[in-house]
Copies of this chain bind each other. A is one copy, B any other.
Amino acid sequence: MANTTVGEALDLIGGELQDLISTVRAADQVPAERALDLLADADRVFVHGAGRSGLALRMTAMRLMHLGLDVHVVGEVTTPAIRQGDLLLVASGSGTTGGIVQAARTAADVGARVLAVSTTDQSPLSEVADTTLVLPAATKTDRSGTASAQYAGGLFEQGVALLGDALFHALWQRSGHSADDLWPRHANLE
């Protein structure tokens, strides 16, 4: 088998992401707009994801902080208890990741809202979520190569990062603030 060059791999990834975006764009846009309301209306936003999905959500969390939202990453030492009025933003490709589903249930039990990003809206996670944003991609444990030629949940995790940035971008445009308005919120102690 011929080796894949880095350029060819980039083409593959870019092509899969374009297909993903096209499918998302052809679907119902109501959940995405509702997601903006959930984020804008939350007292505080908590993000929670395992592994690379969690890293992608941290990228989103940093941007939401730049917008002025009060944001916490579940598992960090200064993250307080979630409560009514807060929003939990979670990502799980399969919608069955144990710790994520349990956290979503706890959040719902205390009266917080839950916004999920997943490959399906038919899962234990989406059952408890107020809104599920569906990214049609392979799940982490799907190693068949049919949904994506990338390894495991790679496409889903990239999708979480891009969707998070799209949510930020739309909120930013809504806010009416310029880039210069956001800049002073960037961390200044490192």
A residues with a Cβ closer than 8 A to B are: 1, 3-14, 17-18, 21, 24-25, 29, 32-33, 35-36, 46, 48, 50-52, 55-56, 58-59, 61-63, 65-66, 71-82, 88, 99, 103, 106-107, 110, 143, 145, 150-152, 154, 157-158, 161-163, 165-170, 172-174, 178-180, 182-190
A81 / chain B contacts, CB cutoff of 8 Å: 184-189
CB of A5, distance to nearest CB on chain B (Å): 6
CB of A113, distance to nearest CB on chain B (Å): 14
Whether A33 contacts B46 by the Cβ 8 Å rule is no
- 9 sampled A-B residue pairs with Cβ under 8 A: A6-B35, A9-B165, A10-B163, A52-B62, A62-B78, A63-B151, A71-B78, A80-B187, A81-B187
